[in-house]
């Protein structure tokens, strides 16, 4: 079969036919086909998907294509895994067909599909809850509930794959560019401190993007120990790495004490009180959350919480001093 000729065929595709009901591999393959196949197969992005079409008659893959129907994983065409000697899943075939093998954005999607289809391990965990509520398990459950309506399974799962794809695209393509831009515009700074004998990396940035803080704590984003996000409203949130949790009690003490001074309050509060988790009545600006090991000035949605009066230029210094515990440290840290 001349795959080059097939790729040059511009017959509008109105229907995609598959021989099986929805499975993890076929659902991922369909998503990739619609995402990357429009230039090769015009119309495929909006084409109707029809499952359980095992009887395709004597017509060839090429004939179906010329009639506006694309056969997927059947008919012996280039998008049929039965046409390959090697052990390969449909999602891998679609990925290679459209030259997306090196696309990091879809790497996890394709590996999930391969693992589920070839290894039978879409969910590696042996925990029964993980297995039941993992995507592979949920697809099985959906097929059982919607036995006579495989289209419903496709409609439910596809938005989940799309959400993953968009988030991966943002983390791999958009967020690195955004952070680089912020550094160039002096709206982001890197720093470090020594916290109880260990070096801790810190980064501060000014942006409303809710994903950037998470990205900067990831390995690809710099693996920072402490991330400080300053929003356009002035609200400031201090987050820490999920696996490396520096003690933020001294930082909470310094931030709350500074807030009181800037508000003109003459109230004297003991450091031990300022280090307490939760929100203090006199200083509602700063919520110390032990569960997430963060100090939040309003979090993602500040609501009625006032923005801190501490200027952005001072925040980084105060966080660094807090981590170094030069002004105050909890008693247990001295033991």
Show which of 175, 197, 228 is a domain's final residue.
175
Domain co-membership, 26 together with 148: yes
Buried/exposed code over 35-60 (b: 16+ C-beta within 10 A; e: otherwise): bbbeebbebbeebebebebeebeeee
Does residue 181 lie in a domain region? no
Domain co-membership, 132 together with 249: no
Cα dihedral sign, 164-167-169-172 = negative
CB count, 10 Å around CB of 26? 25
Q: What are phi and psi of 298, to 5 degrees?
A: 100, -15
Domain co-membership, 126 together with 261: no
For residue range 136-170, list pLDDT tens digits in order: 999 999 999 999 999 999 999 999 999 999 999 99
Does residue 116 lie in a domain region? yes
Does residue 272 lie in a domain region? yes
Asked if residue 178 has pLDDT above 90, the reply is yes
Domain co-membership, 250 together with 323: yes
CB count, 10 Å around CB of 334? 7
So what's the pLDDT on residue 334? 53
Asked if residue 290 has pLDDT above 50, the reply is yes
Asked if residue 252 has pLDDT above 70, the reply is yes
So what's the pLDDT on residue 85? 75
Domain co-membership, 64 together with 104: yes
Domain co-membership, 16 together with 152: yes
So what's the pLDDT on residue 82? 86
Domain co-membership, 240 together with 91: no
Domain co-membership, 153 together with 222: no
**Residue 157 and residue 164 in contact, taking contact as beta carbons nearer than 8 Å:** no
Show which of 141, 175, 209 is a domain's final residue.
175
Domain co-membership, 118 together with 194: no
**Residue 54 and residue 23 in contact, taking contact as beta carbons nearer than 8 Å:** no
Domain co-membership, 102 together with 31: yes
What is the rounded CA–CA span in Å between residue 313 and residue 308?
Answer: 12
So what's the pLDDT on residue 210? 85
- For the record, the structure tokens of 89 come out as 């899943």
What is the percentage of the chain residues whose pLDDT exceeds 70?
96
* Total structural domains within the chain: 2
Asked if residue 7 has pLDDT above 90, the reply is no
50 is in which domain, residue-wise? 3-175
pTM summary value: 0.81
Domain co-membership, 8 together with 44: yes
**Residue recorded with tokens 């052990």:** 87
Domain co-membership, 137 together with 166: yes
Residue range 39-49: average pLDDT? 96
Higher-confidence position of 9 and 226: 226
Does residue 239 lie in a domain region? yes
Show which of 175, 195, 216 is a domain's final residue.
175
């Amino acid at each position: 079969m001349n795959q080059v000729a097939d790729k040059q065929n511009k017959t509008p595709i109105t229907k995609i036919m598959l021989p099986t009901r929805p499975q993890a591999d076929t659902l991922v393959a369909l998503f990739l086909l619609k995402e990357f196949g429009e230039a090769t197969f015009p119309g495929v992005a909006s084409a109707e998907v029809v499952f359980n079409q095992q009887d395709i008659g004597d017509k060839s893959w090429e004939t179906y294509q010329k009639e506006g129907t694309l056969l997927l994983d059947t008919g012996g065409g280039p998008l049929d895994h039965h046409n390959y000697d090697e052990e390969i899943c449909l999602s891998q075939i679609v990925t290679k067909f459209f030259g997306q093998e090196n696309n990091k954005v879809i790497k996890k999607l394709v590996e999930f599909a391969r693992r589920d289809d070839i290894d039978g391990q879409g969910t590696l965990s042996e925990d029964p809850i993980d297995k039941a509520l993992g995507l592979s398990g949920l697809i099985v459950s959906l097929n059982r509930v919607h036995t006579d309506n495989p289209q419903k399974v496709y409609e439910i799962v596809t938005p989940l794959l799309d959400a993953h794809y968009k988030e991966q695209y943002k983390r791999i393509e958009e967020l690195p560019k955004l952070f680089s831009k912020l550094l160039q515009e002096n709206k982001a700074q890197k720093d470090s401190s020594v916290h109880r004998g260990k070096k801790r990396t810190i980064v501060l940035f000014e942006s409303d993007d809710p994903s950037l803080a998470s990205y900067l704590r990831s390995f690809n984003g710099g693996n920072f120990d402490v991330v400080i996000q300053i929003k356009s409203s002035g609200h400031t949130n201090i987050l820490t790495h999920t696996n490396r949790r520096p003690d933020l009690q001294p930082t909470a003490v310094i931030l709350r004490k500074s807030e009181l001074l800037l508000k003109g309050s003459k109230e004297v509060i003991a450091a031990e009180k300022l280090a307490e988790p939760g929100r203090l009545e006199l200083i509602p600006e700063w919520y110390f959350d032990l569960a997430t090991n963060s100090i939040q000035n309003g979090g993602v949605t500040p609501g009625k919480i006032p923005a801190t009066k501490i200027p952005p230029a001072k925040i980084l210094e105060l966080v660094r001093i807090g981590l170094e515990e030069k002004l105050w440290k909890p008693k247990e840290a001295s033991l």
